[in-house]
Structure 1
Amino acid sequence: MMREIKIEAETTKLAIEKGLEKLGLTREQVEVEIIQEEKKGVFGIGSKNACVVIREKIWGEPQKEQKEVRKNIEITNDAFKPSGNIIEDVKKVMKEIFMRSKIDFKILEEVYDEKANSVYINFQSKDAGLLLYDGAKGLLSLQQIISVIINKDPNKKIVVRIDTEEFWNKTENRIKRDVEHAIDFINRTRRPYRMKPMPSTFRKIVHDIVHKNYPSYTTYSQGHGRFRRIVIRYHKSDDSQNENSDKSQNQPQENNNESSAENVQPQ
């Protein structure tokens, strides 16, 4: 059952902190609705407290239709036999998954990059919303399953990207904007910046953007499971936490003095 609390305090930040303390939850585990910002007034006249509503997030309850999609995209490795044509193999697996899920689709674009050993498939479907629901968990699951099946040979890693409704273009542009915001924050404060928790696919995009466009900055991952996030910091900041990455085994602890981005939310 979802828990909810309404809190008033002198500032919005203080109201959120009080609410989290009463619920016994972290900032990542709740949604915050600001009912009223604080107002200082003049000489104490007309001042108003901030008011917020804090709701516990409900995890793992997607729409019934999406549950059926996930249930049906189950293909064993034994059922797939590579043909030698990578694009055709990816399309074959996609067709099998969609057939089992009773989803009609049409492939709009198919690209194989031999240098990067990657496959890009863009498709159209009236049921695309099911795959894009709840942060595109269905689309990411589809992509992961296809990747696992295609990559039977551990010595020949093929990068698979499945796209619909310009999802990846929109997502990358959104993440770029949030990285720009993070860099601006770091430049002004010289403090590290914590991104919102996100899947490993999105974290890789952040790592790549910072590495390519901002060589004076470094990234590392922090947290576990669905709360795993990326921290961006100026490379001369401090400490050995810079050595941590998605591949590290020992993760740094959360730092309450770091800012948290809440706007990386792929649709």
Structure 2
Amino acid sequence: MRNVTAAGRNVDEAVQSGLQELELTKDKVEITVIEEGNKGFLGIFGKKQAVVKLVEKIDPIQQAKAYLQTIVEAIAGKSDVTVQENKKSVSFHITGEKAALLIGKRGQTLNALETLTQLALNRYPGQYKNVTVDAENYRSKRKDTLSQLAIRLADQVLKTKKTVHLEPMPSSERKIIHDTLSGYDHQIKTYSMGEGENRHLVISHKR
């Protein structure tokens, strides 16, 4: 977090001097006036310059991006991380020659990166956003795969009337299956069971 103490003939001039040194705009800094300065008697005696301290504001999203990029490049070498932000969520998309290394079996590595990035982003008071981390468009492909799996298993349950337990998966993936089947057939119901890493989705027949 960068900071600078700057001086000028008045507060505005001192602030502008500090902004130029930091290469930031006014909305990106916290400003503390140390000395307001004065022109002195006849502009000569007792003349004092204004002195201000500028401190760069913390940008949680940029800090989370830098944190994620450090981990990513340690695993997969040179990579680019782009950010898309809206009111309640932030998406980080990773591209690079070896980006596929970041996915892992059934997205486990990607899910771990997502958890770490969410913790990094939301460590500041009053700051909470949902985080998605993606590489090689894995999330989109995985969503299609899970939707197809959900329909296939629902058809199996309708035919056999036997309950199906899926493998443990993150809440975001369980939600994909639940949403896919919510309007699929009124005889099908879905719910979650288990705790922590063993939490999984169940597809059953409404008897």
Q: Same fold per TM (> 0.5)?
A: yes
What's the CA shift string for 1:145-194, capped at 9, x where partnerless? 00011112575431111111110011000000011112212222333222
Tell me, yes or no, if the aligned pair for 2:151 and 2:180 is still in contact at 8 Å.
no
* SS of residue paired to 1:161: strand
**TM-score normalized by structure 2?**
0.60
Tell me, yes or no, if the aligned pair for 2:178 and 2:190 is still in contact at 8 Å.
yes
What's the CA shift string for 1:83-114, capped at 9, x where partnerless? 3463x34322222333555731023x532122
Tell me, yes or no, if the aligned pair for 1:179 and 1:210 is still in contact at 8 Å.
yes
2:93 pairs, out of 122, 125, 140, with 122
1:92 pairs, out of 52, 58, 66, with 66
Cα RMSD, aligned residues only: 2.9
Q: Structure 2: which 5+ residue stretches go unaligned?
A: 1-55
Number of the residue aligned with 2:154:
183
Number of the residue aligned with 1:208:
179
Number of the residue aligned with 2:163:
192
| Identity among equivalent pairs (%) | 25
Number of the residue aligned with 1:83:
58
The 3 A distance-change label for structure 1 pair 154 and 184 is: farther
Give 2:83's aligned amino acid. E
Which has the larger strand fraction?
A: 2
Tell me, yes or no, if the aligned pair for 1:90 and 1:150 is still in contact at 8 Å.
yes
List structure 1 runs of 4+ shifted beyond 6 angstroms.
none
Tell me, yes or no, if the aligned pair for 1:118 and 1:160 is still in contact at 8 Å.
yes
**TM-score normalized by structure 1?**
0.48
Bigger radius of gyration among the two: 2
Q: Structure 1: which 5+ residue stretches go unaligned?
A: 1-80, 238-267
Tell me, yes or no, if the aligned pair for 2:151 and 2:181 is still in contact at 8 Å.
no
The whole-number CA distance in structure 1 between the counterparts of 2:152 and 2:204 is 13
Tell me, yes or no, if the aligned pair for 1:82 and 1:89 is still in contact at 8 Å.
no
Number of the residue aligned with 2:85:
112
